[in-house]
Structure 1
Amino acid sequence: MRIGRRWKRVLIGAFAGCAVLVDAGAAAAQAAASTEQLAISTPPAGSAAWVQDHSFGRTLPDPATTSPAAAAEFFASLAPTELDRLIKDYPLVVGNYDGAPLDLRYRANKIALTAERDRALARSTDQKLDSETRDLAVSRANDVAHLLAPDRQILAFDPRGRGLITEVWGDLADAERISVIVPGSDADLGHFDQSAEPLRGPAGMARALFAEEQRQDPGTRTAVIAWTGYVTPSGLGPDAVTSRLADVAAPRLQRLLAGLHETTRPDAPPALLCHSYGSVVCGNAAPEIPRAAASPSDTSGVTDMMVFGSPGMGVQSTSELGSGVHVWATRNPSDWIGNVPYLEVGGLGHGADPTSSGFGSEQISSARSSGHNGYFAEGTDSLHNFAAISLGRYQDVVRQTSGS
């Protein structure tokens, strides 16, 4: 259905207005200040110089076109001295290269983060810059400094724009079960790890899930990935009601999973936990996930996909997502997202409610969770269920009942 530009603006206002009315205050301020975001779809900084570097006596594989499988083969062919040189000369390329060895990526990202911290600190004292720019530089330096702690495992880092960051909890290389958290709006470098309200940030969600997995099954080796690997909507503006950013994000998520297929060996495909707008990304990526995520030891190739606080997945039912995913869905009664229109008109909106009876998802309880960001709170059915599903302990999942 095609609609005119005027009506598209009206519908955008209606979608955003519904969200604002039911979540007034901070969300309303966000909506008023929000602007459309520039999606990042190109390879990381340094890629142009990388492909033009012939000093290794071979052509370096183009990050824009090389598959994770081919990347894994390339990195395996290099000597330790060559690997050291690559991460020194091209830390942003190596640190973001799906298919590269995990330890190599961790090392490269330490170098890239250190360089970004130093760059931000230099800008923070540059008197040629205005005070607002210097203040933003201080904030960026602080955000990056936290990620340089010795115990943090940074799988990807891209300083462009608001900043993209992906972190790992647990031993990813040795994990029997892997979970990937796909966050929604406002997730970026500056909001990745939030001390005041930890569960609003992807890092806090990942910590809570990893701890719950260990509590439920301490004998299983698990790893949790907080993937802020795409440009998310800012606030409740136009980006939140279209799939534009999700369209760009989906191939990046598929590539992450393809890279994990080359560098990890879990007993089952990585489970995906898709929050809010992240469920739009997951829905968009779903048809290609079986190829990307299935592991050699897994015969079904089915990926568990948990969607919560979802505005829709861009489809009317799970039948449109392909046979490679098993969708579990939940939304607590106090989550404002339930008041957003579940429809799609002229590219606006994200389709049917994943928690509705006709959608085809398996509905799970989120009892004792509260609001849009409370699903990982300790003692909630949602956190319990997320861990149980991630672990493959399906018999322990608490299903949805009236009021839960």
Structure 2
Amino acid sequence: MRQPRTEHRPRPRRFARTVAAAAVALAAVLGAGGWACDTQHPVTGPPPGTAGWVADTTLGLRLPDPATASPAAVAAFFAELPTARQDALAVRHPLVVGNLDGAPVGLRYRANALALAEERGRELARAADPALTPQDRSTARERAERYRTLLDGDRRILAFDPRGRGQVAEVLGDLATAPRTAVVVPGSDIDLRSFDRPTDPYGTPAGMARALYEATGRQTAVIAWAGYTTPVGLGPDAATETLARAGARRLTRLLDGLAVTTRPAAPATVFCHSYGSVVCGLARPGPEQAAALVVLGSPGMGVGSAADLDPRVPLWATRRNGSDWIGDVPNVSLLGLGHGADPTGPAFGARPLPATGSHGHTGYFTPGTASLAAYAALALGR
């Protein structure tokens, strides 16, 4: 019997609705904060200076290739190397050692201090170069000052990469002795220059990490990790997963490195803010890498529900406060646009956390809020 022709008619309509919904989703994302057409190219692959590192035979040893060696293999290599030889490698190749997941944490701190000092010297020279434009000299002065602030006091810089907009990771506390660790993964508009801002003390990864560290009574070591290329503004990059996928690979290496250089019995609690929750969702850490995932101000995680993540890693989601603009972004994933379901929705499967007292998109780590109190309890393993 012939099938009624009407059964075939809804298909183009459904497709049209899908396209329309995708357009609405993009328009909403762009409209929430203004158009940003500055498409970013993610910094990927091994750290700068890798070619010289791989070619270095002064120790009579083959050095682990950062492009292929796992953090566990890197850790095993350094475990067999006397301290003096480790230090010699850090002096010769500071940008490699400082960014090498699996290398001893203290050695990375020393290597990054050297790398920051060297890069600051280069930028100061550029700032005084009459052959450069006034704008280029001004930019060089700004970067030199940024590097100086990262060298101030006893700051523990776990990673530093000057390429692109710059990447950095800082540790609050002692990774070698703290019973537990936490990692803060930021969202859009975070790079070397915006890693910490006096005008927004709890809205940057450094500020969030500092607030969490203090809220745990300084018992948990906290890593402020600006280790991937984030979107700039709210444009196509923020509405798609390209940068998040590149960031997920870098986050996975960080967590793998922590597992072999800190206390493997206490993997990190990972706090994922805004677009950073997409990074965390695509990374899908297992129980060897993370004790729990916490998402806040999330536009979605790039997955359909908590069932798409590792069930052995608890997922917590902070309820959005009323002044967080992320609530205006539709939770869809259509034609490559959007990041999927709302993690705070009852059907997603995350465990709820309160947001009482927080304000705006970046206020969840503000001291005195219910959200920060809950984060501290999770970071302490309670």
Please, which of 243, 247, 250 is the counterpart of residue 245 of structure 1?
A: 243
Please, which of 251, 256, 277 is the counterpart of residue 258 of structure 1?
A: 256
Distance 1:12 1:140 in 2: 39
Q: Which SS does the other structure have where 1:200 is aligned?
A: coil
Q: Which SS does the other structure have where 2:90 is aligned?
A: helix
- Structure 1 residue 326 corresponds to structure 2 residue 314: yes
**Identical columns (%):** 53
Once structures 1 and 2 are overlaid, which stretch shifts more, 60-69 or 125-134? Answer: 125-134
Normalising by structure 1, report the TM-score: 0.87
The residue that corresponds to 1:300 in the other structure is none
Distance 1:213 1:225 in 2: 13
Once structures 1 and 2 are overlaid, which stretch shifts more, 344-353 or 320-329? Answer: 320-329
The residue that corresponds to 1:58 in the other structure is 61
The residue that corresponds to 2:346 in the other structure is 357
Q: Which SS does the other structure have where 1:226 is aligned?
A: strand
The residue that corresponds to 1:272 in the other structure is 270
Distance 2:55 2:66 in 1: 12
Q: State how 1:106-255 maps to structure 2 within 5 Å.
A: 106-214=109-217, 221-255=219-253
Distance 1:392 1:341 in 2: 33
Distance 1:326 1:61 in 2: 34
- Structure 1 residue 315 corresponds to structure 2 residue 303: yes
**Cα deviation code 1:34-93 (max 9, x no counterpart):** 411111111111101111112211111100110111101111111222112101110000
Partners of 1:177 and 1:391 within 8 A in 2: yes
The amino acid that maps onto 1:48 is A
> What is the RMSD of the two structures over their aligned residues, measured on CA atoms?
2.0
Q: Which SS does the other structure have where 2:354 is aligned?
A: coil
Q: Which SS does the other structure have where 1:66 is aligned?
A: coil
**Cα deviation code 1:151-198 (max 9, x no counterpart):** 100000000000000000001111111010000001110000101111
- Structure 1 residue 17 corresponds to structure 2 residue 27: yes
* Alpha-carbon offset, residue 14 of structure 1: 3.9
* Alpha-carbon offset, residue 9 of structure 1: 10
**Residues paired across the two proteins, number:** 367
Partners of 1:169 and 1:225 within 8 A in 2: yes
- C-alpha distance 13-85 of structure 1, shift in aligned 2 (>3 A): farther
- Structure 1 residue 344 corresponds to structure 2 residue 354: no
* Alpha-carbon offset, residue 102 of structure 1: 0.7
- C-alpha distance 127-135 of structure 1, shift in aligned 2 (>3 A): same
The residue that corresponds to 1:390 in the other structure is 379
Q: Which SS does the other structure have where 2:102 is aligned?
A: coil
* Alpha-carbon offset, residue 138 of structure 1: 1.2
* Alpha-carbon offset, residue 16 of structure 1: 4.8
The amino acid that maps onto 1:235 is G
Distance 2:292 2:326 in 1: 22
Distance 2:45 2:85 in 1: 25
Q: Which SS does the other structure have where 1:290 is aligned?
A: coil
- C-alpha distance 229-264 of structure 1, shift in aligned 2 (>3 A): same
* Alpha-carbon offset, residue 269 of structure 1: 1.8
The amino acid that maps onto 1:308 is L
Distance 2:164 2:112 in 1: 17
Partners of 1:177 and 1:267 within 8 A in 2: no
- C-alpha distance 323-244 of structure 1, shift in aligned 2 (>3 A): same
The residue that corresponds to 1:366 in the other structure is 355
The residue that corresponds to 2:5 in the other structure is none
Partners of 1:121 and 1:137 within 8 A in 2: yes
Partners of 2:300 and 2:339 within 8 A in 1: yes
Normalising by structure 2, report the TM-score: 0.92
Q: State how 1:16-35 maps to structure 2 within 5 Å.
A: 16-19=26-29, 21-22=31-32, 27-28=33-34, 31-32=35-36, 34-35=37-38
Which of 1 and 2 has greater Rg? 2
* Alpha-carbon offset, residue 290 of structure 1: 2.8
**Cα deviation code 1:243-284 (max 9, x no counterpart):** 101111111111111111111116532100000000000000
The residue that corresponds to 1:95 in the other structure is 98
Q: Unaligned regions of 5+ residues in structure 2, if any?
A: 1-16
Partners of 2:175 and 2:262 within 8 A in 1: yes
Distance 2:367 2:84 in 1: 46
The residue that corresponds to 2:280 in the other structure is 282
Distance 1:8 1:342 in 2: 14
